[in-house]
Structure 1
Amino acid sequence: MEAMEVEAERNIQRKQALYHSTGERFEIQKEIYRGQQYSQIYFARLHLMRTLLYSLLPNWKPHLPVCTVLGLEKGKECIIVGTLYKYMKLKPTILDEYSKERSATPLVKPHNFMHSDDYLVLEDESGRVKLRGNVLLPSVYVTGIVVALHGKETDAGDFWVEEVLEAGLGDQIELPLKSGEDKFVVFVSGLSIGSGANPLHSQLLVDHITGYLGDEKEQSIAAQIVQVIIAGNSVEISRGLLNGQNLASKDQSKLSEPIKELDILLTQIAAGVPIDIMPGPSDPANFSLPQQPLNRCLFPGSSAYNTFRSCNNPHSFELDNVRFLGTSGQNIDDLERYSEAKDKLEFMERTLRWRHLAPTAPNTLGCYPFSDKDPFFIESCPHVYFVGNQDKYETRLIQGSEGQVVRLICIPRFCETGMAVLLNLRNLECHALSFGTQFSS
């Protein structure tokens, strides 16, 4: 009897957090491509953002008139609001692809298409005007951002920019006051099962989350994990098999093997912890953003648990009233190709200040042709903003002008780094979890 009581005392209970999905805007109910034009998403974005920027103008430059591009007068100071377009000398086009065999022009490095001759124009419904000045740097901005500009038209017909007004961080619900209770969220991305990555690393991660790894102290920490987020690229299927031909039975099993292996791992986690899985570029999901949830029939084992959720990418949700927003990394990777920053966190911060999750969509980033809305508009500021499939783990806490606080997290590719990220819901503190199988000599 005494032994049973001791055993009961040792029995560690897993903590729980209240989960609420807020990602309805990323769901596509009936996909229609016939007759849809990408111009409509730009009109929706301009209308939405212009209304927002107009509400900020009385506190910014109340004495200046607001003009359209067509209504500009030489030398007259005013404010114009519109969408930026960046002319890029090195931006690849399908015509270049077609003619590159006949061209003597050297191929561009694929990671970045910046050039010193790049310049910006501002466009609204009435027309477009070339922008000049030292305030608006082409290296920082990309096509698709809506801004307000203070300046005047020059003799050459350009617009000389004196100051820029961005939308800035949105309103944020107050962070709930927490007791001294720690609750953790685990982020992982780039498991890339099927790519030849060490399967022992991912099993160690699963064993840590489920509490099968380590002593009693480790297990009590694992019991405080209330949510696991898998941010894209969970499997990697050999592209050589996907050539449009009918597959032999042995090749069909090669296609399904990584997904079966992933399901085994997810089933172990879902048996004890709520888990959200987002699609990424290498997963069997639609290519364009927002990516729709991976089909539950791919996961016969884990989908039997009500703790398993297949989610959109981008993904938006709340845990104990802490608001999360994140992607599998496509939006930030695309910004890196068409603009410059000192690190990935700076790109992330820009998207929050521009109030837009994927400004380069649909110009250089594939997205669904929405006709009546722009779901990538960031209406309210999250407390935690994460992106998956990055080269390394980075994190920063940023503050808005009205006291908003946001934890930015770059989640590294697990298959390359053996790293996951642990976030404390109580205080938004963050650190890396590293899993290795090397023994030191």
Structure 2
Amino acid sequence: MTRTAARYDALPALSDPLVVPLSTRAYNRQYASLYDYRLRRLKHPKGRLLAKAQAKWAASSSFSAASSQKGSGNSKKREIKEEEEERADALYVKRILDVKQGQVVFVIGTVYVSMQLKPDVLEDLTREQYLPPQPVADRYADPASDEVYVEDESGRVRLVGDAVGAEGRLRSMLITGVVVALLGTETRSGDFEVADAIFAGVPEETEEAKQSKMEVDEVKEDQWVAMVSGLEIDAMPSGSQNQESNLTDSQGDDLNMFGTSEKELRLTMLSEWLQGEVGSPEDREMASKVTSLVIAGNSISMPLRADEEIKSQPRTPIQPGHYPTLTLDNILADVASTMHIHLLPGASDPTSIALPQQPIHFALLPKTNRFDSLHRETNPAWFGVGGKKFMGTSGQNVDDIYKYAIEEDNEARLRCACRTLDWGHVAPTAPDTLACYPLADRDPFLIEDCPDIYFVGNQPMFGSKIYQGSNGRRILVVLLPRFSTTGQLVLVQPHTLQCKIITLGIVS
């Protein structure tokens, strides 16, 4: 098979902040510094959130001139500032607690949602002294009891009004950790009545990036990127094959007459399809156009039970040579000889649990690691293919955000993914309910550039949408389904933002 090559770009300016070397990992810090950095970054006078709020709610030209005089000791400049602020549509108050009743102002702060259903570490530790651990709630949202606050370095104030109520248009956008600009006024009870809100969104495209696209555009319409997630390769216990009496594997999947589960057959078909060895002539032609493969986490299956639960039960020995990492290595080695592979770690993979997850160690993939085409990415990840920017996660961020959402329809997760672009932040719920490193010098989840394709792995079903940013940029948002249960491989054409689904499995 002849396969055209696509240009790969590591995007070091975007991907390097996601790397956390072992020597720099310290858990003796407080997470407050992460929230402070997030707020300062978006609240900065040169930040895009403040600029958007001024452009919409204030007399932008006069207001900018007034705020530029801030901190001057010259009385004339102070008089100019007061005059310009009087002409503004709304005043910008830097400190939330400085808001005065009766003034129409806008403030910038971090959202905090008080939820009774959200897990509480201290409460769980106290309960464990008397009661067994309680199951984790599938959803945190309870419109009847939830209260929304906004806070900054000065303090916290509760948000009220129809816009942030249970049926309000802004309620689904306000979750813990989101930095937002709010327009409103203080009530007699000391609350902040919200009239409107603005979020950071995705950044504007730089002139350098525009010029680069004009000079080099290597993306062709006959080049596709294959995306898959949730391979969930499990260990093959000893004696699982060649025994007619054993009709299920270690994960409970039905075995066929050859003692192979449908999951294993799908993995084999995936490797062979990408190499053009199976399928119709049309499938082989399409496979020849695939230049890169993205594996978005959970390549290794999660153990069925905790060790504490199986101490009293005999464990089935694993057959030598059938460890899940070896199986993954064999599959990737076959594919890496013909195309680039971008491997993201997931929640069940052998790497760090805290976000940003670090690349899977090269020692676990001895065969594939010999190929330069293997790119062990972080989670979240940034990389470039054919001159287009890809940003993606293995799904933990959207899974956690979905617990805050009120909606329960099939499009809810897709909307949650699009909201991360509205917020300008991939994982706002970290570190509140999503584990992450207590970084003090940066927030690696801030979206500092505008991607062309944004993918989220390990979702219950496929979904895609063209996101239209406030800056006019078009971003393809793709939800990747779990391959182990659906057998679906998603093909993306970066140039046209077109999607196709290839389903691999047994035809009954």
Contact map agreement 2:229 2:295 (CA 8 A) in 1: yes
Q: Unaligned stretches of 5+ in structure 2?
A: 59-87, 165-169, 235-250, 254-261
Q: Please provide the CA RMSD for this pair.
A: 2.6
Contact map agreement 1:149 1:161 (CA 8 A) in 2: yes
| Matched position secondary structure for 1:235 | coil
Q: Equivalent residue for 2:19?
A: 27
Q: Equivalent residue for 1:71?
A: 98
**From 244, 256, 261, the counterpart of 2:327:** 261
**From 353, 356, 359, the counterpart of 2:422:** 353
Alpha-carbon spacing, 1:254–1:411, altered in 2? closer, same or farther (3 Å) = farther
Q: Distance in 2 between matches of 1:28 and 1:233?
A: 20
Moved more, 334-343 or 63-72: 334-343
**From 142, 145, 159, the counterpart of 2:175:** 142
Could you give the per-residue CA deviations for residues 171-215 of structure 1, whole angstroms, max 9, x where no partner exists?
245577678641010111000011456201111111110111134
Q: Distance in 2 between matches of 1:274 and 1:352?
A: 27
Q: Distance in 1 between matches of 2:129 and 2:316?
A: 41
Alpha-carbon spacing, 1:277–1:178, altered in 2? closer, same or farther (3 Å) = closer
Contact map agreement 2:37 2:441 (CA 8 A) in 1: yes
Q: Equivalent residue for 2:188?
A: 155
Larger radius of gyration: 2
Shift of 1:398: 1.6
Where do residues 284-303 of structure 1 align in structure 2 (5 Å cutoff)? 284-303=350-369
Quick check: 1:54 aligned with 2:80? no
**From 377, 386, 395, the counterpart of 1:320:** 386
Q: Distance in 2 between matches of 1:75 and 1:215?
A: 71
Q: Equivalent residue for 1:429?
A: 498
Shift of 1:428: 1.1
Contact map agreement 2:402 2:412 (CA 8 A) in 1: no
**From 128, 137, 153, the counterpart of 1:125:** 153
Alpha-carbon spacing, 1:370–1:95, altered in 2? closer, same or farther (3 Å) = closer
| Matched position secondary structure for 2:17 | helix
Where do residues 207-286 of structure 1 align in structure 2 (5 Å cutoff)? 207-238=272-303, 240=305, 242=307, 251=317, 257-286=323-352
Q: Distance in 1 between matches of 2:315 and 2:136?
A: 39
Shift of 1:160: 0.7
| Matched position secondary structure for 2:141 | coil
Contact map agreement 1:38 1:369 (CA 8 A) in 2: yes
| Matched position secondary structure for 2:439 | coil
Q: Unaligned stretches of 5+ in structure 1?
A: 1-11
Q: Distance in 1 between matches of 2:6 and 2:56?
A: 41
Alpha-carbon spacing, 1:159–1:287, altered in 2? closer, same or farther (3 Å) = same
Alpha-carbon spacing, 1:119–1:383, altered in 2? closer, same or farther (3 Å) = same
Instruction: Provide the identity percentage.
Output: 33
Q: Distance in 1 between matches of 2:320 and 2:303?
A: 8
Q: Quick one: which amino acid aligns to residue 200 of structure 2?
A: A
Alpha-carbon spacing, 1:146–1:181, altered in 2? closer, same or farther (3 Å) = closer
Alpha-carbon spacing, 1:117–1:254, altered in 2? closer, same or farther (3 Å) = farther
Quick check: 1:171 aligned with 2:236? no
Where do residues 328-407 of structure 1 align in structure 2 (5 Å cutoff)? 328-341=394-407, 342-407=411-476
Alpha-carbon spacing, 1:199–1:256, altered in 2? closer, same or farther (3 Å) = closer
Shift of 1:97: 2.8
Moved more, 131-140 or 315-324: 131-140
Q: Equivalent residue for 1:7?
A: none
Contact map agreement 1:211 1:222 (CA 8 A) in 2: yes
Q: Distance in 2 between matches of 1:378 and 1:56?
A: 16
Shift of 1:110: 2.3
Q: Equivalent residue for 2:64?
A: none
Alpha-carbon spacing, 1:242–1:284, altered in 2? closer, same or farther (3 Å) = farther
Alpha-carbon spacing, 1:180–1:357, altered in 2? closer, same or farther (3 Å) = closer
Q: Distance in 2 between matches of 1:299 and 1:41?
A: 33
Contact map agreement 2:150 2:159 (CA 8 A) in 1: yes
Contact map agreement 1:238 1:255 (CA 8 A) in 2: no
Quick check: 1:182 aligned with 2:236? no
Aligned length: 426
| Matched position secondary structure for 1:135 | helix
Shift of 1:426: 2.7
Could you give the per-residue CA deviations for residues 236-256 of structure 1, whole angstroms, max 9, x where no partner exists?
1535475599xx997576897
Could you tell me the TM-score, scaled by structure 1's length? 0.90
Q: Equivalent residue for 1:18?
A: 7
| Matched position secondary structure for 2:24 | coil
Shift of 1:259: 1.1
| Matched position secondary structure for 1:192 | coil
Where do residues 86-97 of structure 1 align in structure 2 (5 Å cutoff)? 86-97=113-124
Alpha-carbon spacing, 1:254–1:193, altered in 2? closer, same or farther (3 Å) = farther
Alpha-carbon spacing, 1:217–1:91, altered in 2? closer, same or farther (3 Å) = closer
Q: Quick one: which amino acid aligns to residue 130 of structure 1?
A: R
Could you give the per-residue CA deviations for residues 409-429 of structure 1, whole angstroms, max 9, x where no partner exists?
000000010111000123110
**From 33, 37, 40, the counterpart of 1:40:** 33
